[in-house]
Amino acid sequence: MKAVRAAAVAVLLVSAMLGAAHAMPPVPKKPEDRYMLAKDNYQRAMQMYRSAKQEYSGMGGMFGRGPPEDVLRLMLLRAIDAMLAHIELVKARAEVSTLSEEEKARIYAKLDAHADFLKQKREEAEKAESRRELVEIAKEVRAGWAEARVALKSAAGSIAVSRLSYVIERAEEIGDRLEVRIAALEQAGYDTSELERLLSEYRDELEAAGEKTAAAEEKFSAISSPANAALLFREGRQELREAQRHLRRMFGVLREIIVQLRQAEPGQAEAAGFGYLYASGNGSVALEGSGGVLLAGRGRLTVRVDRGRLSATGWGDVLRHPDGSATYRGEGKVKVTGRGIWLRAEGEELVLRAYGRGAARLNGSGVWRTSGMRGEWGGEVSYGGGE
């Protein structure tokens, strides 16, 4: 009987070792590929842990005082491997996320500290000479993993928040572009009341999504111990689900706006010379026109509108002039709608979107396109009635 038990243990250990002894592929160069590899490794580690745990539980009745030392050792090693794979997976998720490099570095440092602890315990488990030592190591691993899960939940929450924050930021840019397009249609004589109502609904849903995302970020940031991690993580995820619901409604409104714009703009292009200009590059931009203009970048910008609205975000220094124009320095964006738009900009990473009618002189390095033409910076480009 003892021989049978010993043979069973030997078969279990050999089969488990053979399953883990496959050659690991080289680490991919691209973050996305590293994430997929980390995901595969985690799934494989979890499968091996579950198998070891099942064998451990199944052999409990074969031995008076529980499974033998080697079976306990194997299950402990597989558990630690799964924990380490989990940490690497979250790190890989952070790497492909929209988190800042500083935030990524903070997450890596915290998770690496927990990984180092687990690696140390793995070495101790491999060298342990008795069942009692293994049991003590298992207790330390369990306590250490409880602390690691706090860092993992906090990191997972930060990654989820960054993903939604990125969507919200892009949606805000889309809203700005929609506003200048709608303003250009209004200047061309189109009844934009329904479009303006839809845009207001779009912004309301976007604002609500932003508030819910901020609330989720507060929950995740408050995670500090095993005692509050589960509750705060659950509450944070609920806030994110609410944010996602608002974003889904927002995208539904966006589809309605796009349908109406596609119906209105071609007709206005024929009736009132409606057009658009997109340009991006480094150098200088000088524009005059009517409708809507959105410019973002880094450098120096002077802008004026005779009849309309002007708003600016970001930037640094602002200088107001007697003629009603304003000069901005630093980095930011400006949104202008109305008649008699006059704009001068010099800087880097300039992105210009203009709708309606007008002309722009672009000098430097970059590309531009209108509804019918495209080219590189170095001369005047007309859009709308001037095309």
In this predicted model, what pLDDT tens digit does every residue of 329-372 receive, in sequence order? 999 999 998 889 999 999 999 999 998 889 999 999 999 999 78
Residue 275 has what pLDDT? Answer: 84
pLDDT digits (tens, 9 = 90+) for 79-135: 999 999 999 999 999 999 999 999 999 999 999 999 999 999 999 999 998 889 999
pLDDT at 25: 57
Do residue 142 and residue 201 come from a single domain? no
- SS3 state at 364: strand
**What was the pLDDT predicted at 307?**
87
Q: How far apart are CA 262 and CA 41, in angstroms?
A: 47
If asked whether residues 286 and 369 sit together in one domain, one would say: yes
Same domain, 145 and 173: no
Do 300 and 186 share a structural domain? Answer: no
Give the range of the structural domain holding residue 370, as residue numbers without chain letter. 275-386
Q: How far apart are CA 246 and CA 228, in angstroms?
A: 27
Among the candidates 268, 294, 323, a domain finishes at 268
Please tell me the distance from the alpha carbon of residue 357 to that of residue 180, in angstroms, as a whole number.
12
DSSP three-state, residue 347? strand
Same domain, 293 and 326: yes
8 A C-beta contact, residue 235 and residue 219: yes
Same domain (yes/no): 39, 118 = yes
Enumerate long-range contacts of 320-326, CB under 8 Å, 24 or more apart.
Answer: 326/302
Query: pLDDT per residue over 136-153, tens digit each?
Result: 999 999 999 999 999 999
Identify the pLDDT of residue 244: 97
Is 92 in contact with 34 (CB distance < 8 Å)?
Answer: yes
pLDDT score recorded for residue 272: 60
Domain count, the chain: 3
Last residue of a domain, one of 268, 296, 321: 268
Sequence letter at residue 86: H
Does residue 98 sit in the same domain as residue 53? yes
Spatial separation of the C-alpha atoms in residues 374 and 80, rounded to whole Å:
58
Return the percentage of the chain with pLDDT > 70, whole number: 88
- Look at 387 and 129; give whichever has higher pLDDT: 129
Please report where in the chains the tokens 């107001």 appear, as a residue: 320
Do 92 and 211 belong together in one domain? no
Q: Are 24 and 74 in contact (CB under 8 A)?
A: no
Task: Indicate if the pLDDT at residue 9 is higher than 60.
Answer: no
Q: What residue type is 18 in one-letter code?
A: L
Domain end position, chosen among 161, 183, 217: 161
Instruction: Give residue-wise pLDDT tens across range 37-61.
Output: 999 999 999 999 998 888 777 665 4
Residue 280 and residue 194 share a domain: no
pLDDT at 3 over 60: no
Q: Do 207 and 148 reside in the same domain of the chain?
A: no
Q: Which residues of 265-276 are buried (b: 16+ CB within 10 A; e: fewer)?
A: beebbeebbbbb
Question: Does position 175 have pLDDT exceeding 60, yes or no?
Answer: yes
Helix (H, G, I), strand (E, B) or coil at 68: coil
pLDDT value of position 13: 42
Give the percent of the chain with pLDDT over 90: 66
Tell me the two tokens of residue 68: 């033998």
Q: Are 96 and 166 in contact (CB under 8 A)?
A: no
At residue 66, the pLDDT reads: 61
pLDDT band at 188 (very low <50, low <70, confident <90, very high): confident
DSSP assignments along 117-186, one per residue: HHHHHHHHHHH--SHHHHHHHHHHHHHHHHHHHHHHHHHHHHHHHHHHHHHHHHHHHHHHHHHHHHHHHH
Q: List helix spans (H) across the chain.
A: 2-20, 31-58, 69-95, 101-127, 131-187, 193-221, 226-272
If we measure between CA atoms, which residue out of 348, 354, 357 comes closest to residue 369? Answer: 354
Two tokens, residue 356: 């309606």
Neighbours of 307 (CB within 10 A): 11
The answer on 74 and 121 residing in a single domain is yes
- In three-state secondary structure terms, 290 is strand
DSSP per-residue codes, 242-264: HHHHHHHHHHHHHHHHHHHHHHH
For tokens 């250490």, the residue is 144
Both 222 and 348 in one domain: the answer is no
